[in-house]
Structure 1
Amino acid sequence: MQWIKRLFGKEAPRIPDALWQFCFQQLPFLEPLSAGERIRLKAMSEDFLARKSFTGTAGFELDDETAVLIAAQACLPVLELSLDLYDDIAGVVVYPGSFLIPQTEVDEAGVVHEWQEPASGEAVHAGGAVVLSWEDATDMDAPGYNVVIHEFVHKIDMRDGNANGCPPFLPEFHAGIRPSHWQAVFAAAYEDFMSWVDELEAQLPEDFDDSRPDHAERYDELFGVLPMDPYAVRHPAEFFAVAAEAFFVLPAPLQEDYPEVYELLRLYFRQDPLGRA
């Protein structure tokens, strides 16, 4: 714990080489990065660790490995942009597992419904923190899934207000992207993806129960053809964040099924994961 404690002192953190190599072993999607990109990612991760506070909660004990693994993944989307995109982040809060988020919904009759929903991550707007479930952050079994990238992309999306799936376009980086074109491409892809998910859901048993092995197997068989997590259908902002997860972690299916989305993400993040491979 001695190294991570220095994050809050005057000394700028320097990630030991052995710890940085450990990070790459745990995150195979970083392997295709070039030598130059690895150097820049390490420097940016050290800067991120110096700028942001890390807090463990609900009994979770932070250590050096946890902090570096989160920092490396958080910095990947802004590797060719600017860490200033994360100025709005107060810090990073880490739970050992999923946590509950209050939800509110007003139905057509005007009745307010309130409940708590388990979550693997949350990006709190208006200067709030990024909250992560460490159990979910270390889940590498689901193809294309990455809760750390997901939540930090939400914070990028929130730079100009609430998350809506249309991130801020910075003049020095995004002069070639027309916001109207971005909105048209993502809206069309979102509608198409929702229809695709609806068609798959219609093929599930009427009494579907994911705790039943046969039902879970059927779900995996059907939804395994998707290029990204079906959670993307919940909102245009979720579609953008989930697409960004796939772009960095498992880009080939996304490029095959939604090439225009892939191309805009390539232009926005100024990275080409498939080109690296």
Structure 2
Amino acid sequence: MFFPWGRRARRQKLLQSPVPALWEETLEHQVPLYGLLPADLRTRLIGKARIVVAERIWGGGDGLAVTEEMKIVVAAQAVVLLAGDEGYLYERLPAIQLYPEYIAARPRRGDGGPHVGVRLGDSWQGGNVRLSWPAVFEGAEDPQDGSNVVFHEMAHHLDSLDGQMGGEPPLTTESLQKRWPGVKVEFQRLVQQLMHNRQTWLDPYAAESPAEFFAVVTEAFFEEPAGLAEHHPELFTTFAELYRVDPRAWFEQ
């Protein structure tokens, strides 16, 4: 059994140690977003990422040997979603598994077959997050292209923390609870636009389900915040309150 005081002590010891050179090299060359962040936020996120690397179980599927460098790239992106959160550090995420290519989709109840296609990643209620390493690498390479599989799957994980993955994460304030029906309205509006073959700013995949809408908007919020604020101002305001951060400043340099 691990007691909270023991975990706090281990984390404190870890964060008091110097940041290894491998971390600085990996972030500089493979996670360019970190070069855009304010110094204080960058330092805090590196600390969070070091904890995630140390505490989560890491595995490789289909013969992939997971390196420390890979863990750094994944964790550094995962904690961006926690930039404004001083509490949660993925303690309820059992393990992160990386794959060398596409991931064979797990069968869902009622599918009637061994697999239902392939994916770049997936996250299951109460389960592990699985990621295609090439997709992780590509997503980190351009922090402003609107597509990031780590953000997407970690958003699904955060969505599941209230006991279900339905596109509504735990809403911790009365203000968020009042604003969230507006998110559902935006989802329905997107569905209607696509039904009428109208062009949409958001990736059409967001219309697959409320859960996918939440994950896709999360990607847009952190990678194209100015665009989201322009095209969907209410969504931007709600997600800024949810994540307690405004990423627009990161890209204004």
Asked if these proteins are the same fold (TM beyond 0.5), I'd say yes
The letter for the 1-side match of 2:227 is P
Question: Which residue of 1 is the match for residue 162 of structure 2?
Answer: 160
Q: SS where residue 102 of structure 1 aligns? A: coil
The answer as to 2:223 corresponding to 1:249 is: yes
Question: Which residue of 1 is the match for residue 61 of structure 2?
Answer: 57
The letter for the 2-side match of 1:138 is F
- Spell out the pairing of 1:187-206 with structure 2 (5 A cutoff): 187-200=184-197
Q: TM-score, normalised by structure 1?
A: 0.76
User: After superposition, what is the alpha-carbon deviation per residue over 1:178-221, rounded to whole angstroms, capped at 9, x for unaligned?
Assistant: 31421x211111112223333448xxxxxxxxxxxxxxxxxxxx
Cα distance in 1 for residues equivalent to 2:91 and 2:25: 27
- Name the % identity: 28
Cα distance in 1 for residues equivalent to 2:136 and 2:209: 22
Shift in alpha-carbon separation, 1:48–1:194, aligned structure 2, 3 A: same
- Spell out the pairing of 1:71-82 with structure 2 (5 A cutoff): 71-82=75-86
The letter for the 1-side match of 2:215 is A
Cα distance in 2 for residues equivalent to 1:63 and 1:39: 22
Shift in alpha-carbon separation, 1:21–1:177, aligned structure 2, 3 A: farther
Q: TM-score, normalised by structure 2?
A: 0.83
Cα distance in 2 for residues equivalent to 1:60 and 1:15: 26
Cα distance in 1 for residues equivalent to 2:34 and 2:195: 33
What are the ranges of 5 or more consecutive residues in structure 1 without an aligned counterpart?
1-9, 107-111, 202-224
Question: Which residue of 2 is the match for residue 185 of structure 1?
Answer: 182
Shift in alpha-carbon separation, 1:99–1:44, aligned structure 2, 3 A: same
Q: SS where residue 175 of structure 2 aligns? A: coil
Match of 1:91 among 84, 90, 95: 95
The letter for the 2-side match of 1:118 is V
The answer as to 2:209 corresponding to 1:235 is: yes
Cα distance in 2 for residues equivalent to 1:30 and 1:239: 26
Shift in alpha-carbon separation, 1:24–1:137, aligned structure 2, 3 A: same
What's the RMSD between the two structures over aligned residues? 2.4
Q: Which runs of 4+ in 1 moved over 6 A?
A: none
Give the number of the structure whose alpha-carbon radius of gyration is greater.
Answer: 1
- Report the count of equivalent residues: 234
Cα distance in 2 for residues equivalent to 1:105 and 1:83: 34
User: Is the 2:176–2:241 contact (alpha carbons within 8 Å) kept by the matching residues of 1?
Assistant: no
User: Is the 2:22–2:69 contact (alpha carbons within 8 Å) kept by the matching residues of 1?
Assistant: no
Match of 1:31 among 35, 38, 42: 35
Cα distance in 2 for residues equivalent to 1:168 and 1:80: 15
Cα distance in 2 for residues equivalent to 1:67 and 1:163: 25
